[in-house]
């Protein structure tokens, strides 16, 4: 007997309310700034990533999902900065999957979400390389704050949780 995932029930519930999902402009701006800080932190851990991005300086990448968009500018240092709203995009990445739960499911299974790519091919290749090769070493960052042993325990607990969730999502049958 096939069982239906509780996630599909939640997704249907959220869609039935038809609530506006647009947060206030100040919250969006702050989220963009924090995301750029996190991305730059991760990029700074990989000098090769910064070198590759530096070759694309001045280029603008627009990422979109549903009504949400995020536009960044590649700096000469190989880092990212927020691009102005009127800046023309050299590369547009549109996540084509509409369901946040389906995106989470694919990510939990180690897959990339489906993306439509438009624009500069070389810049797209560099972004793809970054997605394939750059990873955030969360344990290293936590160790600076908590110490080595507690950081290791927190990360192991997170991995166990993610693995269990991944197995649950992987067993889910499509509705």
Query: Is it the case that residue 119 has pLDDT exceeding 80?
Result: yes
Query: Is it the case that residue 153 has pLDDT exceeding 60?
Result: yes
pLDDT on residue 107:
73
Q: 96 versus 170: which is more confidently predicted?
A: 96
Find the radius of gyration of the CA atoms of the chain.
Answer: 19
Query: Is it the case that residue 87 has pLDDT exceeding 90?
Result: yes
Q: 120 versus 107: which is more confidently predicted?
A: 120
Query: Is it the case that residue 79 has pLDDT exceeding 70?
Result: yes
Q: Which residues contact 50 (CB under 8 A, 6 or more apart)?
A: 43, 44, 77, 78, 79
Q: How confident is the model at residue 173 (pLDDT cuts 50, 70, 90)?
A: very low
Give the C-alpha separation, 108 to 12, whole Å.
20
Supply the pTM of this predicted model. Answer: 0.70
Average pLDDT (154-160) is 81
Give the C-alpha separation, 113 to 122, whole Å.
20
Give the C-alpha separation, 39 to 61, whole Å.
14
Query: Is it the case that residue 94 has pLDDT exceeding 90?
Result: yes
pLDDT on residue 14:
56
Q: How confident is the model at residue 163 (pLDDT cuts 50, 70, 90)?
A: confident
Average pLDDT (67-80) is 93
Query: Is it the case that residue 28 has pLDDT exceeding 90?
Result: no
CB-side neighbour CA atoms (13 Å) of 39: 22
Residues in the chain: 175
Neighbours of 50 (CB within 10 A): 17
Q: 94 versus 20: which is more confidently predicted?
A: 94
Estimate to the nearest angstrom the gap between the alpha carbon of 10 and the chain centroid.
22
Average pLDDT (33-44) is 93
Query: Is it the case that residue 54 has pLDDT exceeding 90?
Result: yes
């Amino acid at each position: 007997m096939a069982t239906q995932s509780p996630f599909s029930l939640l997704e249907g519930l959220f869609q039935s309310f038809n609530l506006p999902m647009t947060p206030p402009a100040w919250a969006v701006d702050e989220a963009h700034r924090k995301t750029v800080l996190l991305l730059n932190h991760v990029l700074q851990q990989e000098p090769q990533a910064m070198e590759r991005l530096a070759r694309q300086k001045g280029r603008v990448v627009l990422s979109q999902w549903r009504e949400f968009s995020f536009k960044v500018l590649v700096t000469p240092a190989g880092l990212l900065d927020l691009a102005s709203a009127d800046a023309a995009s050299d590369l547009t990445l549109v996540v084509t999957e509409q369901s946040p739960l389906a995106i989470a499911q694919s990510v939990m299974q180690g897959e990339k979400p489906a993306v439509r790519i438009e624009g500069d091919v070389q810049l797209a290749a560099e972004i793809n390389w970054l997605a394939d090769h750059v990873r955030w070493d969360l344990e290293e960052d936590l160790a600076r704050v908590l110490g080595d042993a507690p950081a290791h325990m927190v990360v192991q607990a997170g991995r166990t949780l993610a693995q269990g969730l991944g197995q649950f999502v992987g067993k889910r049958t499509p509705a």
